[in-house]
Structure formats: C-alpha cells, structure tokens
Amino acid sequence: DVKVTQSSRYLVKRTGEKVFLECVQDMDHENMFWYRQDPGLGLRLIYFSYDVKMKEKGDIPEGYSVSREKKERFSLILESASTNQTSMYLCASSLFPGAIYEQYFGPGTRLTVT
Amino acid sequence: AQSVTQLDSQVPVFEEAPVELRCNYSSSVSVYLFWYVQYPNQGLQLLLKYLSGSTLVESINGFEAEFNKSQTSFHLRKPSVHISDTAEYFCAVIVTFGVQGAQKLVFGQGTRLTINP
C-alpha cells in the first residue's frame, strides 16, 4: 500500500511565524504535490515537484515556498504565516509525470494561524 | 472560466435511496475525468476515472459515472447508498498548461453526501 504521511494533523501558529509542513511518501514516487482545501473552493494546487530539487508553481503559490531535497520528502514552507493561510493542507504523490496517474493523498494538516 | 463545476455543495439522502452527484466540465479542457472521495478525517482516494473507451465507468463499491460529451458532464451515481458512503466527493479534470505541456488536476468545489438512516 502506498503511504503518504504528513508530520502533523493539527497545527496552531501565530501570525508572522515561519511554518514548515512536511510530507513523506514511501513508494518511490516521482511526483509530489501540495494542495490547500477550503470549504466551497475544493482543492487548489500550491506547488508541485516532478523530481528532486525541481519545483513548479501551481495556481496559488503566493506566500508559500517548497523544498524537495530527497525524493521521498516534500516540504511546504510558509515564510511568514498570515491568518488567510488558515486551511487544510493536503500532500499527494504519484508514480509518473502526468496527472492521468492516480494521486495518493496524505491525511492532511489542519493549520490555524492566529 | 471554471474548468470543473459541481452543482451541489450538499446532498442529503436516505439510506438505500439512489443518488446522483453532478459534475460539469469546461469544453476547453481535456476529457480525462476523475471522481475522488474523502471520508471523514482522511485524505482523498480515487473512486473512478475516465480516460478513454467506454463512457460508463464503475467503482468497486457500486458507484458509476458516465462521460457525456454533448452535455460536458460526468455525473456520479449509485442506485442504493449506505451509511458508509457518507463523505465528500470531488470531481476533477486534467488541465494542460505552460509551454512544456505540464499537466495538473483541477478539482471541483466538492459535494458533501450525507446519508440519513
């Protein structure tokens, strides 16, 4: 079974803090993704990566950055957290490039910025 | 323009009743279509997908979806729902972007299906 794990299920941070969300997959997948999920908006792609040290912006990259130093780990960084970044963050991975390949999701991290 | 639209944010039904969750996509996007399901406190899981071939696709737990090109729809149906089907359901479509033709999934807004006993 493919397993995608996220470092925290719930996180509370203060405005202005630097926040790291970690994601690890154990199936040697090439591709990894970060989404945020908000009620009524569905999932929106923040960043994705098709290879180590490679990253591409998604639809809403502003206020976020990412790091992929190892194939299995993809980190989402909020340089200076703001209240409008309060959301559910979902990490996903897939075996091959191309969105037709099934994405496997982690359980999510619910981030609250106060 | 929205690439994919789910017309209902919430759908309450009684157990053993039929259900249809509606999804329409923009004619300007690809015709690679997906339904993902998110059970309470879990991540998303792929439920079924249409890439080509038969326009009717089925999942292992009794859901089916039909690709309708003329109506640009990919509605999800189940003839008899169970309490365990309570979840949020997301329709998604592949969009190609950028000069190198990268692909990404674009999700609809989600439909929360609630099954009442």
Question: Cα–Cα distance between A18 and A10 in angstroms, integer?
Answer: 16
pLDDT exceeds 80 at position B15: yes
What does the DSSP assignment read for B11-24?
EEEETT--EEE-EE
Residues in chain A whose Cβ is within 8 Å of chain B: 4, 35, 40-45, 48, 56, 58, 90, 92, 97-100, 102-103, 105-108
Point out the least confidently predicted range of A66-75, B16-25, B91-100.
Answer: B91-100
Point out the least confidently predicted range of A6-10, A48-52, B44-48, B93-97.
Answer: B93-97
Structure tokens at A76: 């989402």
Q: How many domains does chain B have?
A: 1
Q: pLDDT > 70: what percent of chain B?
A: 97
CB atoms within 10 A of CB B85: 20
Give the residue carrying structure tokens 């999932």: A43
Residue B4's pLDDT is: 92
Q: pLDDT > 90: what percent of chain A?
A: 76
Q: Which domains does chain A have, with CATH numbers?
A: 4-94 (2.60.40.10)
Residue A85's pLDDT is: 98
Chain B segment 7-36 residues within 8 A of A by beta carbon are 9, 32
Asked if B117 has any chain A CB less than 8 Å from its own CB, the reply is: no
User: What pLDDT band is residue A100 in, cutting at 50, 70 and 90?
Assistant: low
CATH number for position B22: 2.60.40.10
Residue A99's pLDDT is: 63
pLDDT exceeds 70 at position B1: no
Range of the domain at B42: 4-116
Q: Give me the mean pLDDT over the A61-66 stretch.
A: 97
Q: How far is B89 from chain A (nearest CA, A)?
A: 10
Strand partners, A91: A34
Residue A2's pLDDT is: 64
Question: Which residue, B9, B4, B13, is CA-closest to B77?
Answer: B13
